[in-house]
Amino acid sequence: MQPDFLHFLSHLCILVDMDIQWYPGHMTKARRQMQQKLKMIDMVIETLDARAPKSSLNPDFDDRFASKMRMYVLNKADLADQNITKQWVAYFKQQEIPCISFSAANDKPAVLQKQIVDAANGFLQRYRDKGVKKTLRAMIVGIPNVGKSAILNRLLGTKKMKEGNKPGVTKALQWAKIDDYLEIMDSPGMLWPKFDDEQTGAVVALIGSVKLDVLNEEELAFYLIKLLARSHPEMLIERYKLDEVGEDAYQMLCDISRKRGFFLKGGEYDTERAAKTVLDEFKNGKLGRISLEVPDGR
């Protein structure tokens, strides 16, 4: 194995270790509370990040919500590659899981609301047959920062639910009454105790679903820059006015520091600031529409 690659893998392991330590605490409590409320829930709306539907899919949910109607919302579709998102929607539909791509930032909520009600059609019909108009009660779930609260705000047409571009903003369960016949409970973002592989840890960090310390931020920025240098070099060149994109991620962070005027007091490049900037700009879609995963691989 190339020494460079080993070095790269050890960086990823730092990321993954950190994620494991971050899991307990409020998520354990949230999981217990969600379990208690589950009996009053008819349907579970699982929110995935459209840029990384595979890594943002919590493997614990299959068991935990096995008895409920399920659907997927691929949110932040405005940040993902449109064609790849279409492939993902087709992929989930093939597995007979209702699925819709959505942007809580841009899309009108009516189509999403209809999809939710349609996904529960058989269940609601049984009530209609008895002459009852049932209120559908759903719970929106997903890993942190995928836009659960933002989706509810979009459906409500208000800013009732607290949103923020960092993990762990929603701390408690909270009902959103969309109309007389649809109520959706917001829930805190949930991860699972251990990532299957290093890449999952890195992807989950890139979409802002785990908090990182400074060291990890620089490592993750290397990972992202290497990835983009291969898949979307033109976006790096355009955004950071680079002359060229090379193999050396550290060199590129130096180039970005120079172009942006990020210098430390002694005149050295402030690569820490450049790393933060690249990660933030990716998270907010400033580099362009980028999907990190396609249905049959990354």
Ligand X SMILES: Nc1nc2c(ncn2[C@@H]2O[C@H](COP(=O)(O)OP(=O)(O)OP(=O)(O)O)[C@@H](O)[C@H]2O)c(=O)[nH]1
- Residues that bind ligand X in the complex, under the rule CB under 6 A: 75-76, 78-79, 103-105, 142, 144-150, 163-165, 167-170, 188-189, 285
Q: Residue 138: beta bridge partners?
A: 43, 184
Q: Which span sits near Mg ion by CB under 5 A: 126-134, 164-172, 215-223, 280-288? A: 164-172
Q: C-beta of 188: minimal distance to Mg ion in Å?
A: 7
From CA 184, how far away is CA 41, in angstroms rounded? 9
Coil, strand or helix: which one is 4?
A: helix
Q: C-beta of 192: minimal distance to Mg ion in Å?
A: 18
Q: C-beta of 51: minimal distance to ligand X in Å?
A: 10
Quote the distance between the C-alpha of residue 26 and its chain's center: 19
Q: Count the site residues for Mg ion by CB under 5 A.
A: 4
Q: Which does 285 bind (CB under 5 to 8 A by kind): ligand X, Mg ion, none?
A: ligand X
Q: Are 96 and 69 in contact (CB under 8 A)?
A: no
Residue closer to Mg ion (CB basis): 123 or 175: 175
**Interface positions, 129-158, toward Mg ion (CB under 5 A):** 148-149
> Which of 47, 58, 103, 170 is close enough to bind Mg ion by CB under 5 A?
170
Residue closer to ligand X (CB basis): 150 or 245: 150
Q: C-beta of 168: minimal distance to ligand X in Å?
A: 5
Tokens of 293: 């995963």
The residues near 231 (Cβ < 8 Å, ≥ 6 apart) are 290
Element (H, E) at 137: strand 136-142
From CA 48, how far away is CA 92, in angstroms rounded? 12
Residue closer to Mg ion (CB basis): 148 or 232: 148
Q: Are 71 and 116 in contact (CB under 8 A)?
A: yes
Q: C-beta of 23: minimal distance to ligand X in Å?
A: 14
Residue closer to ligand X (CB basis): 285 or 288: 285
Q: Exposed e or buried b for every residue in 106-120, given b needs 16+ CB within 10 A?
A: ebebeebbebbbebb
Cα Rg for the chain, rounded, in angstroms? 21
Residue closer to ligand X (CB basis): 37 or 134: 37
In the complex, residue closest to Mg ion by CB: 170
In the complex, residue closest to ligand X by CB: 189
Question: Burial level of 200, CB count in 10 A (0-12/13-18/19+)?
Answer: buried
Q: C-beta of 170: minimal distance to Mg ion in Å?
A: 3
Does residue 187 bind Mg ion (CB under 5 A)?
no
* Residues near Mg ion, by CB under 5 A: 148-149, 169-170
